[in-house]
Structure 1
Amino acid sequence: RFNFDDGKPGQNFDTFVKALLTVFQILTGEDWNMIMYDGIRSQGGVNNGGFVYYTLLNVFLAIAVDNLANAQELTAAEEEEQRLADEVNHFFVHHR
């Protein structure tokens, strides 16, 4: 529980609804670092590995999604190049 001397922060995991809102805030990236610092303070620094894991997972997923998007763009460009080559080939074969 996030019970600190200066009060409970608005973002916490004490109830299901608050947990959903907090996770949504983390996933959107809006002030997620304050939630991280509150989580570290509430657990005495024990869960630092979880935040490191979460951050690294996001980095790796971003790289994977970016590479997939680039691969799709390259595939579309290669298909267009092949289509143009086929048209040129067809033109020269049939217009001799």
Structure 2
Amino acid sequence: MGIDYGTKFLELRKKNKLSQKDLANIAEIGQTTISDIEAGKKSPNAITIEKICSALNVTLTEFFAEERPQLEPELRRLVDTARKLSPEQIEYLQKLLESISKD
């Protein structure tokens, strides 16, 4: 599944309290282009993505970074601890967790 440019740009534009016309002027691209991208009628090219991101004060890295849901603190501790284990220990832990969860 590809990135939904229109939805991401729309969210960022609203977060920045900009109209499509404002964004188009700052990014120096046509308002119709902004409208078509947000409506999903058109996919932006690399230059357009860069211009829109720049106008929205978002780096390309930030724009393309996948949002990862945060783990609850208890699960985060478990994952952090598991990362320190050897492959054999991880296998034992996996078996233990599976046996515990078979209630």
TM-score (norm: length of structure 2): 0.27
Asked which structure has the greater RCO (Cα within 8 Å, sep 6+), the reply is 2
User: Which structure's CA Rg is the greater one?
Assistant: 1
TM-score (norm: length of structure 1): 0.28
